[in-house]
Chains A and B, each alone.
Chain A
Amino acid sequence: MNIKKYLKVYAYFNYSSFSIELEYKVNLFIDLLTSILGLIGSVFLLSIFFSNTNEIGGWNFNQALIIQGIYTILNGVTNTWFNPNLKEIVKYIREGTLDYVLLKPIDSQFWVSFKRISPTGLIEILLGFFVIGYCLYLNNISFSVGSFTFLVITLICSISILYSLWFLISTTTIWFVKTWNATEVLRSFLYMGRFPMDSFSFSLRIFFSTVIPITFITTIPSEVLLGLSPAWKIILEILVSMTFIIFSRRFWKFALRFYTSASS
């Protein structure tokens, strides 16, 4: 694999999608407003939960706010990279244009996963980091290089798991053609990542750590930031994310064997 070539292609991808997106400047502004309001809304919901109690599942308000920050960052990542590309994958397969992608002298998974980028999510990522910064102040967390490294590692793992989940669902398009609604199901489940996993009952916690691993996506990075996470959790998260990435790659290769094109 020629990394230089891929970087160059990626730069072109970004250039072309930015020029498409910037055509709708008002939309950018509306999307920004949407993400700010979304954050305010979920902080409002948290404040309702905490108005009569000091902690939920062992997390106090300031700590639960960290999860909101992590969620906002990851939601921004989803909106920037995964969501716009996923829509395209569904379209490639339905219209049969995946033929052209497969014929290109470049890895097909790379092409379908990174073709598009939507700048609105970037603002959301920034917003998330602001919240995290504010939480560091609220929780009196002294920030060391060590904890920062672990935060980055766990965040990368979360993003890998998220990517794999989205990509696995889009891959099933090859069989089912219309998977738009399956992604809605995933989206509504991921929504629960806004809350500490300990606040759910035991059976739901099991569900959220195995079937849809939300625990690994938002709760563990937040625990790392608070210094509450034991080492085995971080190692487990790394293992889970690697499994997901390898599995999604294998699954894509497997699914391509069943691709029969359309029309054309």
Chain B
Amino acid sequence: MKNSTLYKLNTLFKTQYANMLEYRAEIALWAISGVIPFFMLNIWTNNGLNESINISSVMLSRYFLSAFFVRQFSVVWVVFTFEEDALLGRVSPYLIQPLHPFIRYFAQHIAEQITRFPFALFIATFFFILNPQSLWMPSILTIAISIISTFFSFLIQFLMQSIIASFCFWTEKSSSVEKLLFIPTLFLSGLLAPVASFPNYVKSWIYLTPFPYLIDFPASILSGNQTSVVGGLLIQLLWIILFFSIFKKVWKSGTRKFTAMGL
């Protein structure tokens, strides 16, 4: 079965994991750069702001720790890699291979997440030493569901960025579009403040966008804050299907536009 897709995928994941392990120091730094939720938590609890939104400080610290975890495992950087590959002419050989180039990037992301896992655990342990009262043990079911919804969140972001990355076929610098999209992701996803604390004029339309399903929804499941699990997962799935079909279309017309660069 040397030619089966499963075999190819397995090999791809293994090599990418080995590759990522080589850069573990860098990935450790990546993990550290994700500590913003903890600083935000400090502002929230230090000023007693959580009382006004009816979330106890213990629940809020669990929320921000979960937000940290969800963010760690849903960070996507495919657009930056693809842009570099496109500019340096590495995309041409990828296109000839009997494997979609984005499966390679997908494998890179998964491998990076596995490498990142111990660092994230280490930071979380450190957090619990500083805040022992917020220690909690979610049930196996909760962990399983939050892993699924975190993976869905990752998929949504991966597909969104892949669409933007495909713009590289038209303009060389599509990463600036990604930087633009990162702003609403940062402020509306729940990374800096839980969506529950948002004013009503924002809450009325925010659930029509994919953003609260990126961090707030998985983090609320994991931390045990209130949220409707089934509905959320279904909406995440809807976004995945929508972005996947857009990506397929953009990719198809993009590869027709493709002009090889470099070699």
Contacts and interface: CB of A to CB of B under 8 A. Distances in A.
Contact of A37 (B26, B36, B43, B183): B183
B34 interface: yes
Contact of B26 (A48, A178, A187): A178
Interface of A is mostly: helix
A49 B49 contact: yes
B90 interface: no
Contacts of B172: 24
B198 A48 contact: yes
A200 B30 contact: no
Given A38-B183, A48-B198, A188-B35, A56 B43 contact: yes
A31 B182 CA distance: 12
Nearest to B29: A181
Interface string B138-175: 00000000000000000000000000000000011100
A78 to B, nearest CB: 14
Contacts of B30: 181, 184
A56 to B, nearest CB: 5
A146 to B, nearest CB: 33
Interface in B21-44: 23, 26-27, 29-30, 32-36, 39, 42-43
B39 A185 contact: no
A185 B33 contact: yes
Contacts of B204: none
A34 B176 contact: yes
Contacts of A199: 43, 46-47
Interface in A17-51: 24, 26-27, 30-31, 33-34, 37-38, 41-42, 44-45, 47-49, 51
Given A37-B184, A192-B39, A52 B176 contact: no
B186 A41 contact: yes
Given A52-B53, A192-B39, A185 B183 contact: no
Contacts of A82: none
Interface of B is mostly: helix
B70 interface: no
B98 interface: no
Nearest to B30: A181
Nearest to B188: A41
B176 A30 contact: yes
A27 B27 CA distance: 29
Given A41-B186, A52-B52, A185-B32, 5 more contacts: A37-B184, A49-B43, A57-B47, A181-B26, A188-B35
26 contacts: A27-B176, A30-B176, A30-B179, A33-B180, A34-B180, A37-B184, A41-B184, A41-B186, A44-B202, A45-B193, A48-B193, A49-B193, A53-B48, A57-B46, A178-B26, A180-B26, A181-B27, A184-B29, A185-B32, A185-B33, A187-B33, A188-B34, A188-B35, A188-B36, A191-B36, A195-B43
Sorted nearest first, the 10 A-B pairs with minimum C-beta distance are A52-B52, A181-B29, A41-B187, A184-B33, A37-B183, A188-B33, A185-B33, A34-B180, A181-B26, A30-B176
Interface of A: 24, 26-27, 30-31, 33-34, 37-38, 41-42, 44-45, 47-49, 51-53, 56-57, 178, 180-182, 184-185, 187-188, 191-192, 195, 199-201, 204
